[in-house]
Amino acid sequence: MSHPIRLDEANQEARIWSVSDLNRNVRQTLERSYQEGVWVRGEISNFLSHRSGHVYFSLKDKGAQVRVVFLNGAGVARNLKLDNGQEVEV
């Protein structure tokens, strides 16, 4: 791999995280903070039920959105009639 290009040359002292390290750190932080689990309410957008059986969509509110992957969820999505514009709790 060639030498990476630093996009923010002004911030030479910032810690550089690998993708794996960042992902691991975020996961550990979330698991510690939400040990009892999390329910999130929002509106479905960008709904896609893939032939693989997986369902992909965004869950959004007025201020933000998160991407959701529902593995092997196509059958459940059909039964619940999930679609764009619905408000759900997941």
- The two structure tokens encoding residue 59: 């869950």
Looking at residue 7, its pLDDT comes to: 66
Report which of residues 16 and 7 the model is more confident about: 16
What is the pTM assigned to this prediction?
A: 0.69
Looking at residue 1, its pLDDT comes to: 59
pLDDT tens figures, 25-80 = 999 999 999 988 889 999 999 999 988 889 999 999 999 999 999 898 888 888 88
Dist. CA 69–CA 43, nearest whole Å: 15
- The two structure tokens encoding residue 22: 């960042």
48 Cβ neighbours under 8 A, 6+ residues apart: 55, 56, 57
Dist. CA 32–CA 35, nearest whole Å: 6
